[in-house]
Amino acid sequence: MRKIIALLMLLLSVVAHADSTAVQKLEGFISRAKNIQAKFTQVSLDELGKVMQTSQGDFYLQQPGKFRWNYNKPYEQQIVSKDGKVWFYDADLEQLIIKKIDQSIGDTPALLLSGSVDLNEKYTIVKQRQEGDILWLKLTPKNTDSSFKYILVGLKGDMLYGMELSDNFGQLTQIIFSDVTMPKSLAPDLFKFIVPEGTDVFEG
């Protein structure tokens, strides 16, 4: 019996160490990712796993707290964050929604990487799986009011590979990044949103 208990304790310590190492790898990546530039493909699935939409575009991030998603296909949309606000622009609808970053949108994937979030304070982080050279970590919000059930972050070596978000309505969003680079700087204008003429603006 003592041998079984000792073996269980050993296994638990190995798992805890593995999770600790994985978390340190994520934290190390975020500490290095002062600027990120990448292309992305995003797939949205409903609660039955049926693909609702596939989108493609460009992603930019600058720590702390600045990011931009340029959706180019199938619809032109932009999401820009700076100075505690997020701009959501839909070109087809000619509509812009401006929101403050608060708890309701505080779990967006880009904000997670922006260096402005204390990961250990907001999330329970564990190693989810290893697929070849891709490490997936699962972040479960500690706040029950979060808009997401969990977020997966995939690292390929020392670089960002993908993210997966499960919301409280059973929908799943999968994002795979490509051509990921960490340039020394990004143009400041990337994080400015100029409202096109004729756009309906809603701020709340």
How far is 204 from 202, CA to CA, in rounded Å?
7
Residue 192 amino acid letter: K
* Whole-model pTM over 0.85: no
- pLDDT tens per residue across span 2-35: 444 443 443 333 333 335 677 788 888 888 888 9
Q: Which pLDDT does position 14 carry in this prediction?
A: 32
DSSP per-residue string spanning 127-158? EEEEETTEEEEEEEESSTT-SEEEEEEEEETT
Beta-bridged to residue 177, according to DSSP, are 40
How far is 108 from 188, CA to CA, in rounded Å?
21
Asked if 78 contacts 93 with a C-beta cutoff of 8 angstroms, the reply is no
With CA atoms as reference, report the closest residue to 111 among 138, 143, 76, 85: 85
DSSP state letter for 196: P
Question: How high does pLDDT run on average in the chain?
Answer: 82
